[in-house]
């Protein structure tokens, strides 16, 4: 995130090869006032040059994928995990699936391409497309698992004779001969023209010789008529028997490109000039497979996407300061190295081609070197915007005006966000549903007014914390779930909430967007919970923060309390542990994107249904697990319950993916040492010192699950509940918690 006021938003749509270079370039040389936002459908983006090696078994999944969450953490970029569905160019917004749009000042698109399955009847149902490549990795691993027990003949057809199809077929042949040892394997490549039609004759000759030597069948100059279950039909009426079909045919553009009004080429790809800028919109750039450089048309190959990274970064900088972009001329001849799956490779450039194991080692060296630039953290921390010298070019008339306006803001009146900004945000959010609200945001006054139905008690709680992730919408969801946790823990139904939102000083439009995203995320959770947003306060601060004062209604006779543990009760937990250590590591760029995604999914899951299930099951005590960690909150329950001890099963503690691995690497939340003070209440710490789950007891949770004591015969009635212990009578020598486990 940029230090000082935010002036410009550069949005990178797609995690392609060019965009990862832009991220690193802006991290090494930041521009004050400029924020980079990366929007990615996939958190782990593959390097296309290594995918055939992955299929052949030479690389692990991690070795050939760039973790965008870690890269964003290292480079200081904001990461939004979402899929684009279109553009609102009038308002400069990227439209996203299932969430509000993201605004931009400059937009760069690098979303790749996909095989055109529409041209082959049955392909969408019976074939596996190789692109988007990000989906191929996990599909291939699942396919391999199934093949390990395959019996009888195994017939694989690869449709497409370009470089991608040829490499994939040979990689599949090599890997399946290792994995599916009980099967009689036949791999076939079918193509409507010749293989490697765009490359030199020498390359085609060498690759045909490889096919013959390996026993891979080649069917050239035969169009595919139809794909059905168990077969591929050719245009002459012949059929190829197929147990699995992979499609690596001519790339097609994203369908939503046609709705943008941007100029496209004859195949539907975004048309850009030699500066990589759209020919129809100066605020939009496009690179990689999704774009066609009209003055310099080249094949859809990863080598060009890699080469476009530096000129794209340079031209984005120039566009930000009002300077004309520079033209870029891609090379006409380029080195192509095609792996044969078995540790050999064929290299071709221009008219010549060579083959050998040394060629594969050369390719492997090039690919691994490129990946190291984006998979491994730098030897020293990347430069931050705070350390960057001023860029004189940025101080144009508009920037000076914005900086002066931001710098002279009043700090009184609670440093409020402007009335116009707030009014527009509330209008975009729309009315908040809720019952028993007499005065709320639909008719704002000096304060909200709510009615408490007869026979019900009002439950109140408050929570507030600064952001720990860059996606304001997701942070808004997490903050709302966290705040409602205390209401759910008491068995109450959420009723209404007041928000306290803080956004960093920025240009007015950008402050409005950030505030809208925060509250839109919160409204997602509040609305589903039946909790009306009835007011609040918004202000400026050094970083984003969000909190809520929440109200709930409960029948006093059925309210759950911390105290009430009874001997024989089973102790249950409704969410996995580990959010503290995962985000502590994420702040250092050490947590995998998949781990962060899993933690966020848990944190965004409301506990309302679990709360009502606990009441129905006759739960005797309940609390939510948050900042004090499991041990701290359990100790509160025991202290409030009287003479009971809990036998806690360390083996049963549910943990989020990555949590125990990160503990083993030495990561921990900054609150962990304080939570460790509860260890004097625990017996068995010495014996359990090496247990991988022990640190989970003290890991602070955000939007954690409910911890409850339930009669043993009712545990099965509570969805998501994991039994982690049992209450028994406390003896004279017993502590609060006794640990058990292997």
Cβ atoms of residues 556 and 511 within 8 Å: no
- The rounded distance, in Å, linking the Cα atoms of 73 and 78 is 8
CA distance between the termini of the chain: 44
The answer to whether the CB of 113 falls within 8 A of the CB of 290 is yes
545 CB neighbour count, 10 Å cutoff: 19
Following CA atoms 468, 470, 473, 477 in sequence, which dihedral angle do they give, to the nearest 10 degrees?
-20
Distance (Å, whole) CA 194 – CA 482: 60
| Helices 419-429, 508-528: crossing angle, 10 deg rounding | 40
C-alpha angle 478/71/303, rounded to 5°? 135
Other CB atoms within 10 Å distance of the CB of residue 354: 15
CA separation (Å) from 455 to 490, 493, 554, 557? 16, 14, 9, 10
Alpha helices, H only, 490-563 = 508-528
Length of the chain, in residues: 742
Nearest to 659 by CA among 602, 723, 580, 563: 580
Query: Which residues does 387 contact at the CB level (< 8 Å), separation at least 6?
Result: none
Look up residue 672 and give its two tokens: 């962990």
The answer to whether 12 and 23 are in contact (CB under 8 A) is: yes
d(CA 382, CA 361): 31
Distance CA(155)–CA(162), nearest Å, equals 20
* Whether residue 413 lies in the annotated active site: yes
Helices (H), 408-507: 419-429, 472-489
CA distance 58 to 46: 15
Any alpha helices (H) in 642-701, and if so which ranges? 659-664, 672-675
From the CB of residue 229, how many other CB atoms can be counted at a distance below 10 Å?
9
Residue in this structure with the two tokens 């490499």, named with its chain if needed: 167
3-state DSSP of 305-329: HHHHHHHHHHHHHHHHCCCCCCCCC
- Number of CB atoms found within 10 A of residue 381's CB: 12
Strands 34-40 and 8-13: parallel
Asked if 199 and 348 touch (Cβ cutoff 8 Å), the reply is yes
Residues 408 and 431: their CA atoms lie apart, in Å, by 33
Active-site residue (options: 64, 410, 413, 622): 413
Strand partners, 539: 416, 502
How many angstroms separate the most distant Cα atoms in the chain?
88
Q: Which residues pair with 88 in a beta bridge?
A: 93
Cα–Cα nearest to 510, from 79, 11, 110: 11
Return the active site residues. 413
């Amino acid at each position: 995130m940029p230090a000082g006021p935010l002036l410009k938003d550069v949005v990178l749509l797609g995690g392609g090869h060019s965009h990862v270079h832009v991220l690193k370039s802006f991290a090494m040389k930041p521009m004050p006032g400029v924020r980079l936002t990366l929007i990615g459908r996939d958190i782990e983006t593959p390097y296309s040059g290594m995918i055939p090696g992955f299929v052949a078994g030479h690389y692990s999944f991690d070795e050939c994928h760039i973790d965008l969450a870690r890269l964003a953490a290292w480079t200081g970029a904001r990461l939004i995990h979402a899929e684009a569905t279109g553009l609102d160019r009038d308002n400069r917004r990227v439209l996203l699936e299932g969430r509000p749009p993201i605004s931009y000042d400059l937009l760069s698109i690098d979303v790749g391409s996909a095989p055109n399955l529409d041209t082959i009847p049955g392909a969408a149902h019976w074939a596996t497309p190789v692109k988007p490549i990000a989906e191929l990795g996990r599909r291939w691993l699942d396919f391999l698992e199934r093949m390990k027990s395959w019996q009888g003949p195994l017939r694989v057809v690869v449709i497409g004779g370009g470089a991608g199809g040829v490499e994939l077929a040979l990689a599949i042949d090599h890997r399946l001969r290792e994995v599916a040892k009980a099967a009689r394997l036949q791999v076939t490549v079918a193509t409507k023209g010749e293989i490697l039609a765009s490359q030199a004759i020498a390359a085609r000759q060498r690759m045909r010789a490889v096919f013959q030597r390996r026993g891979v069948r080649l069917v050239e100059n035969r169009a595919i008529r139809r794909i059905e279950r168990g077969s591929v039909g050719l245009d002459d009426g012949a059929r190829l028997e197929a147990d699995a079909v992979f499609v690596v045919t001519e790339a097609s553009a994203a369908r939503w490109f046609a709705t943008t009004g941007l100029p496209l080429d004859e195949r539907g790809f975004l048309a850009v000039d030699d500066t990589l800028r759209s020919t129809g919109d100066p605020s939009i750039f496009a690179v990689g497979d999704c774009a066609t450089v009209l003055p310099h048309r080249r094949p859809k190959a990863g080598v060009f996407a890699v080469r476009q990274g530096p000129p794209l970064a340079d031209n984005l900088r120039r566009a930000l300061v009002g300077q004309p972009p520079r033209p870029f001329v891609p090379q006409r001849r380029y080195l192509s190295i095609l792996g044969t799956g078995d540790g050999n490779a064929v290299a071709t450039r221009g008219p010549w081609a060579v083959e050998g194991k040394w060629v594969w080692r050369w390719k492997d060296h090039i690919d691994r070197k490129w990946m190291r630039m984006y998979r491994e953290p730098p030897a020293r921390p990347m430069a931050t915007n705070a350390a960057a010298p001023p860029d004189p070019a940025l101080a144009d008339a508009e920037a000076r005006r914005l900086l002066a306006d931001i710098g002279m803001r009043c700090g009184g009146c609670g440093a409020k966000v402007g009335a116009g900004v707030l009014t527009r945000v509330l209008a975009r959010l729309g009315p908040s549903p809720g019952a028993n609200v007499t005065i709320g945001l639909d008719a704002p006054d000096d304060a909200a007014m709510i009615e408490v139905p007869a026979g019900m008690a009002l439950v109140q709680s408050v929570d507030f914390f600064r952001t720990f992730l860059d996606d304001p919408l997701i942070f808004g969801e997490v903050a709302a779930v966290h705040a409602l946790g205390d209401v759910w823990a008491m068995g109450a139904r959420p009723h209404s909430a007041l928000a306290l939102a803080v956004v960093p000083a920025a240009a007015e439009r950008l402050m409005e967007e950030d505030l809208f995203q925060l509250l839109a995320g919160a409204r997602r959770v509040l609305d589903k919970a039946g909790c009306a947003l009835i007011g609040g306060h918004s202000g400026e601060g050094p970083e984003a923060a969000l909190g809520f004062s929440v109200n709930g209604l409960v029948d006093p006779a059925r309210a759950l309390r911390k105290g009430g543990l009874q001997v024989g009760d089973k102790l249950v937990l409704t969410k996995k542990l580990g959010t503290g250590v995962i985000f502590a590591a994420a702040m250092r760029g050490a947590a995998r994107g998949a781990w962060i995604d899993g933690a966020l999914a848990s944190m965004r899951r409301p506990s309302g249904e679990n709360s009502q299930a606990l009441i129905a099951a006759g739960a005797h005590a309940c609390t939510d697990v948050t900042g004090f960690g499991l041990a701290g909150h359990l100790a509160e329950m025991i202290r409030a319950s009287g003479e009971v001890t809990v036998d806690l099963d360390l083996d049963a503690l549910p943990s989020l993916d990555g949590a125990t691995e990160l503990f083993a690497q030495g990561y921990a939340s900054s609150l962990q040492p304080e939570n460790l003070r509860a260890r004097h209440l625990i017996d068995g710490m010495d014996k359990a010192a090496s247990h991988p789950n022990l640190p989970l007891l003290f890991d602070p949770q955000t939007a954690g699950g409910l911890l409850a004591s339930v009669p043993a015969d009712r545990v099965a009635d509570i969805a998501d509940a994991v039994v982690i212990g049992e209450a028994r009578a406390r003896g004279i020598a017993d502590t609060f918690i006794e640990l058990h486990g292997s």
